[in-house]
Chains A and B, each alone.
Chain A
Amino acid sequence: MASRPRTLRDARKVYGNNAELAWWVFMRLSGFLLVFLVFTHVFANNILTNAGTIDYDYVAERFAQPAVRVLDSFLLGFALLHGVNGLRYSIDDYFKRPGVRFWVKAIVFTLTAAVFVVGVMALWTFTFDQMGAAVRDLNGAQ
């Protein structure tokens, strides 16, 4: 957690809103959901499959299934939010100097947001070939 507030004003800032309570509830709710989402994911890709044989065709075939896309989308969103908030707790525990803490958080949050965007793109705009063909069709239709 954040370092202990030393003044009433600091304390109000830390405890004066419900955001931390909301995150606390979110960690439990998302954690419960993630147990099922992650176990399904790990079982499909490590037990039903030899993870050492996974290649482009395997992933392409999986992402061609709408159910996988939907499940993986929930997985992506919940896991990244749950994980980035867990890292936020950890950063508050281990980085005490405000300047360092700010920059470590800035890097972690930026990286997480970037990975989220890349993940959504991979799940929902799977082949750039198809997108390219669609753009060509549009241009050809003019």
Chain B
Amino acid sequence: MYRGREGQWAFFLHRISGIALMLYLLLHVFDISLVMWGPDGPFNDFLLFYHQWPFRIGLVLIIAGVVYHALNGLRIIMLDFTDWAINYQRAMWYGVLVITTIIGIPVLIKIIPEIIGGS
């Protein structure tokens, strides 16, 4: 149906990021909920584990997924609720990638030193 062009990639990235975000969300709500066991409970040990660099890089990927999924979601809403947007769907997808990158660069500049600094 999409014949492997931009629409197919827009769908594929939306699907992959969506599944990843939902799995992250389930884990995130669970681990933050460990605050219920108080300051001496398992919470700090859990978070300390997730502060290791592989998980911090994972979190950066999750943020990238959030930004892409949100912007492409807005593109989908425009495609569904306006007459004109469909004519620009390909340009809008490239717009989504450009804005994701524009948001992503300062986020990386903020977070990468934190990971390298080890805190």
Contacts and interface: CB of A to CB of B under 8 A. Distances in A.
Contacts, number: 102
25 contacts: A31-B70, A31-B73, A32-B73, A34-B70, A39-B66, A47-B107, A50-B119, A51-B56, A51-B114, A52-B51, A52-B115, A56-B43, A59-B35, A60-B39, A63-B35, A80-B25, A86-B18, A87-B22, A115-B25, A118-B33, A119-B29, A119-B33, A121-B33, A122-B35, A126-B36
A30 to B, nearest CB: 10
Question: For the complex, would chain B's binding face be called helix, strand, loop or mixed by DSSP majority?
Answer: helix
A-B pairs, 10 with minimum CB distance: A83-B22, A122-B33, A119-B29, A31-B73, A35-B70, A118-B33, A86-B18, A52-B51, A56-B39, A115-B29
A122 B59 contact: no
Interface of B: 15, 18-19, 21-22, 25-26, 29-30, 32-33, 35-39, 43-44, 47, 51, 56, 59, 63, 66, 70, 73-74, 76-77, 80-81, 107, 110-111, 114-115, 119
